[in-house]
Every structure is written in C-alpha cells, then in structure tokens.
Structure 1
C-alpha cells in the first residue's frame, strides 16, 4: 500500500532493504593500545594471581556493548534528469543531474543482553529511540574512466544540494506538494521518532556521462562502527585514548549499471545490479583491454619484458599499493633499460613496451625535464629535482637513470596531491606520460601472466566481459597452490586482484546490496 500522498508504485519498483540485523555489531572487542603497546614496559607476570589480572593484560580484548540502531532504507533506481541550475554569473544553465529517490524509516535499535552474544540462545533486546539521520551519499565508478590526459582514473562524487532541482524531481516522480521531500541538509534538521518515515532525494552533479557501472554508498543509516589501528601509528603511553585509531561507520553499498540501447551518450535507464556482477564485468573488461593493447598501440609488450631479462612477477606492485597501482614497476623497467649493455637498441625495446605513441611521449617527457623552459618554470623544476638530488643537466646526460630516480621520488610522496605537484613541477603538462607508462607496464605484466597461465590473448580480445571472466576462472581454478594463485591474480589484475576476484567468484545473483565498513584511508575502485 502506498504512503498517503504518493502515487501507488507497481510491485518491485521500490526496493526495500531491511535494517542490518547482524549480531557482530552489538559486541565489539579490542585492545587499549595506549596501554598494551604504549605501556608495554609495565607488563609483568604475577606469582600469586592469574596472569590476566595485571594492568596491561586487563587492557587486552576489552568488550564494548553499544546500542545499535539501523534505519530501514527503500529506494527507486537512480534516474537522470535535465534541470536548470544557477551559475556563478547569476544565470541559469541547463544541465544533467543524477538522483536517487529514497525512503527511510526508524525501525528501532538493538542492545545485547548482558552476558549474551546476540545468538537465538542469548538474544538481544529491542529498543525504541529517536534517531538523527545524517545522510552521506557517494557515487563511485567501479571501473576507471580515461581523462583528458589519456590516464585511467576512478571517479567519486559526493551528493550535492541543488534546491532548483527539487521541484523538477517532484514533477518527474509525481510527488504531491503537501508531501515533504528532504534533501541531505534538511534531513538532518530533527530526530526521527520511532516508526517515523521520511522521503528524501540524493543529487549528483557533473557525473562523467561515460560511467556505466557504479556503486552508491549510503552512510548514516546506522551507528554501527568498527575501528582499526592506523597504519602509521606511533603509540606512546601518554597519548589520549583512541588517538591512533581510525573509525568507520557501516555503509550500505548499492550497485547499479547503465543500459545503453544506442550510442555511447544514450541511455538514461539505471538498473539495480547484483553483488559480484560488477567485479566480473570489470575483471573481464580489464583482460580484454590488455589483450587488445598490442594491436591498438602497435607494441610487443611480452617481448619487451623478455628482452629486459624480466618476468611478470618482477613487475608486481608492492604490498599495500592502492587500486591504481604503484610506480615502482615502472622504475624497475627504466632501471633495466639503463643497465643494458652498449649496442642494445633501447628505443626498440621501449617502443615494443609502450608503442609508437609511447616512444614519442618518452621524448616529450625528457624534453620537459631537461630542455629549455621559461625562468619561473625552470626554478620550480630545479627545486623539485634538487629534492631528488638531480638537476636538468643530470636528466639530459643520464636520461634513463634520472627518470628511474624521479619515478621513485614521485612514488615516495606521502600524498597523491604532493605526488602530482612534484610531477607537474618537473614535467609540466607532459607529466601525464608517467601514469601512461605505468599503465603500459601493468598491461605488459598482465599479458605475460596470461601467457603463463594458458589464457589466449586472441580469444580474450574477441570475447565479451563475462566470457573473458569465465575463461579466467578456468585458468585460476587450475592453479591449486593458493600462494601462486594469489600472485597470478595480482599479475593479471593489479594489487587488489585477489580481493576483487574473490568477490566476483563468490557471487550469488539476486543479492542487490551489501553492508560494508569503509575507512577514509581506503582506496577507491576495484
């Protein structure tokens, strides 16, 4: 039955997701790191009492029993709409927005029974309490999109406040004027009473129209929280509690895909996907792209790797690399090129690796780092190179060794923004070739790993994404050693290959959502 004031919806139009009822959020355990690590010198073994009664041991595996609430969330599939929005020139401009119409209901909270563990034998008790919903919607592409510089990057968009779009969405969805439609700001204005229902809308602007596969992460539907130690934590006993922990609220992940019945720019139908669907498509698409790269770039990547005396495991990303991968495999290639004996045709090997366009890009990159430039640009370039103990003259005299040093210096930048700033200071606009060459090396590694496990690049290039994934499954399942299998998946798919493959291989069609914990330091994309 439709809520009063709304046009009745046909069955299946509104997808309803019940509150997460898992028990693992009700009973949390963790160490007080400021004691167990920061004051480890106070650890001792008592002679007349149990070992777990000391100050340090009592700080281990502490139990926390929070009251956990979770809203019921229902939604219609996202849609695209043309609306008028104001510009900085105080004019209205027609543009396309993406939006998600949704409904939330305060379904109450849960509390673990004292001494229980949330199981049917030791259940939790239900609570009714007001809840403040602070929505946070992020739309993320699951596959990288090529930018203006020819570099594949992931896209992520935070929902925006577009007041002028609300009226247009009301008309499109036939929402009556007396029914309030909340945006992400007004939704936070007051608590939701037990059992209260609200309708809201999340809006995104300037979404790349080439995105076909994407997820929407909804945070704020629950106060369920997990935490972990920061990777760079230097814990001292005098630090305040939780100073070295990072927290993550549980988020709801919804997967969607865009159907295109015509050309690349057509198609406004956004459909619900099932868990694992995108992972399969993304994996298959990556294999197809790598398999077709030699023809597209006029290159011979596998031959280039062999001519350098390398194997694909030599080009794996280091542990901890994000989804985009590391620059260190590129440094390995440049170092090997520089070490080749006199008489070897380095240019031919690099062309085999990166193609004709890549060879020209290499020349442009060297010219940008060592050629004549305006004085202000030269000053910035020299300052950035000096931090790596180089000069433009060094780059001119020893180009391959210098570029390898620069690549390592870029990789060591503590943040991506700083890495990009260094890249631009040294190379200017030509810095885009660094990312391009890194992708060429990753594609070469993938092709060599394909050849090693019996995947035929020609068959992969002629298949669709799901068929390519099916061929990969046969090859991966044939490898019984789990360590070798994990290394193969990293060679084929990058640093997160084993995780992405596990999600794809374990798919159960019909599961259209999942609850996840996402930390701010986690990387984007598959």
Structure 2
C-alpha cells in the first residue's frame, strides 16, 4: 500500500464511522456496558426523555484547508488553467474543482542522509467554484510509456525550496498538509485558492514521454463491466497531464520538459 493511500485511509476512516453510525448500526461506547433489554431511555430532570444528539456533518470531521485570496487579474507566470466544465459523458450532478498548474520542473534539494537529490515537482492551484464545501484528497501518479507507475512522495525538505523558486509570498502545501475540505470561493474578482506541490524523488529518467494522473478533483465515476463476468470495475474522473522530455538520462534539466499537444485530457482512470 502506498504512503498516499495510507494517508487517504487515515483521513477517511472518521467519515466511514459516521456513515456506519447514521445507518442505524449499533454503536456502543467502550467505557459503558450495553444497556439491558427493556431499560428505560435516559430522562431529564422533569422526567422527559432526552433528545438524541445532533448528527455531525461529514465536513466537520476533517480539517478545513486554509485558502489564500488571490485577485483574478493578478499575473501568474506560467500557470495554466484547465477546462473544468462538465462534459457530455459525465453523469449529471457531479462537481469538478478548478485546477491550474505549471509545467513539470526539476529542483535540487538537500535531503538528510542522502545529500543533494534531484526532485521532480508539479506546482498547482485549486479553487472550489462549485458553491459548496468539497473534500480534497489529491492523488498524483506519474506513468511512463511502459505503464509503470510512480506515486508522488512526501519530501518535506523540498517544499520551502520550491516555494522560494516560485512565489515566496504563497504558502504552498505538500502532500500531507493539503488534504481536507475546500470552502467555496464566492468573492467577486478574487479566488480563494489552495496552492500545492506534488513531488517525486523516484521516476523514469529514460522516459521521453510520460503522463501525470491527478485524481481527487471530482466526484465523478463510472462502473465498467468486467468482460469475464466479475464485479464491475470502478473508474474515477481523472485529469491526465501529458509531457515530453527531450534529452538523455545523464543530464536531466527542467528546460528539456515540455507539455504535450494537447497538454491535458479528462479521462476515467
């Protein structure tokens, strides 16, 4: 199980517990024995039955991400927006977060015990224009031409270095701190945005073409029938970013990486 999968499970377990409790399944406190059959319900001072506690909304069980107000007319060097409109093949009623990114880059980072290491990173911006709070648990997977996958890695030493090389005034978040609820952005002329960065210390240096799949920007999904008659396969609405790298594996530089043509595509993956 990948590190990111473990992070996602640890964040979503409270929601699973809430769903279990709200479904009517029995839920007993660990420090109290179960009530005997026929026992009277708890009563207040006047003898009236106490009302049940108010249910907790799922968006109160996870942290709310801190957004940064950014004017929409503020110039942002090399940051490209993705078309996040609903497509004809999508199910009606799904939501999609607005996403912008910079081309994949390489940064040298001093990592304790390993020395100076080359780190691939994808700098991005997310805005919630759906009108309601949305859960954001992003997953970034780099895939080479042979289909080999490289999940993004937690590299805390890279975050301040990347922030300094892009915009030191923006509090960019790494993989661990960017999971939570994104409040809706409703201000006129201003984006309440979350800035993040996905990082890789391990990748295929020989790959001339590769893609980065970004999952977690939408709740859209499809069930694909299994030709062998097994359970249907669930595929999620995912953003695929395509890149081309010119050069060899011995002298890897950011200048060798270009976006594909077209640069991205929404897929079910």
- TM-score class, shorter: 0.5 to 0.7
Question: In structure 1, the residue corresponding to 2:178 is in which secondary structure?
Answer: helix
Is 1:217 the counterpart of 2:220? The answer is: no
Superposition deviation, residue 156 in structure 1: 1.7
Aligned residue runs from structure 1 range 322-333, under 5 A? none
| Partner Cα distance (1:107, 1:247) in 2 | 26
Q: Distance in 2 between matches of 1:185 and 1:259?
A: 32
Aligned partner (choices 71, 76, 81) of residue 102 of structure 2: 76
Which stretches in structure 1 are left out of the alignment for 5+ residues? Answer: 28-66, 109-127, 145-153, 235-243, 275-510, 519-526
Q: Does 1:194 align with 2:195?
A: no
Cα-to-partner distance string for 1:312-350 (whole Å, 9 max, x where unaligned): xxxxxxxxxxxxxxxxxxxxxxxxxxxxxxxxxxxxxxx
Change (3 A) 1:212 1:194: same
1:181 maps to 172
Is 1:160 aligned to residue 158 of structure 2?
no
Pick from 121, 124, 133: which aligns with 1:102?
124
CA–CA separation in structure 2 for the residues paired with 1:23 and 1:165: 39
CA contact (8 A) 2:205 2:249 kept: no
Pairing 1:366-377 to 2, within 5 Å after superposition? none
How far apart are 1:186 and its partner, in Å? 1.4
Q: Which has the higher strand share?
A: 2
Structure-2 separation of matches of 1:160 and 1:232: 35
Q: Counterpart in 2 of 1:246?
A: 233
Give the aligned partner of residue 139 of structure 1. 142
Tell whether the 8 Å contact from 1:78 to 1:99 is kept in structure 2 after alignment: yes
Which has the larger Rg? Answer: 1
Q: 1:102 to 1:168 in 2, by over 3 A?
A: same
Q: CA deviation at 1:187?
A: 1.4
Q: Structure 1 CA distance, aligned partners of 2:120 and 2:135? A: 25
In structure 2, the gaps of 5 or more residues are 1-68, 186-191
Q: Is the 8 A contact 1:131 1:192 kept in 2?
A: yes
CA pair 219-263 structure 1, distance change in 2 beyond 3 A: closer
User: Whole-Å Cα distance in 2 between the matches of residues 207 and 70 of structure 1?
Assistant: 29
CA, structure 1 residues 264+84, in 2 after alignment: closer, same or farther (shift >3 Å)? closer
Q: CA deviation at 1:258?
A: 1.6
Higher RCO structure (Cα 8 Å, ≥6 apart): 2
Are residues 72 and 259 of structure 1, via their aligned partners in 2, closer, same or farther at CA, if it must alter by over 3 Å? same
Q: Over the residues paired in the alignment, what is the CA RMSD in angstroms?
A: 2.2
CA contact (8 A) 1:258 1:267 kept: no
Correspondence list, 1:43-442, <5 A:
67-86=93-112, 91-108=113-130, 128-142=131-145, 144=146, 154-176=147-169, 179-188=170-179, 190-195=180-185, 196-233=192-229, 244-260=231-247, 265-269=251-255, 270-274=257-261
Aligned pairs, number: 192
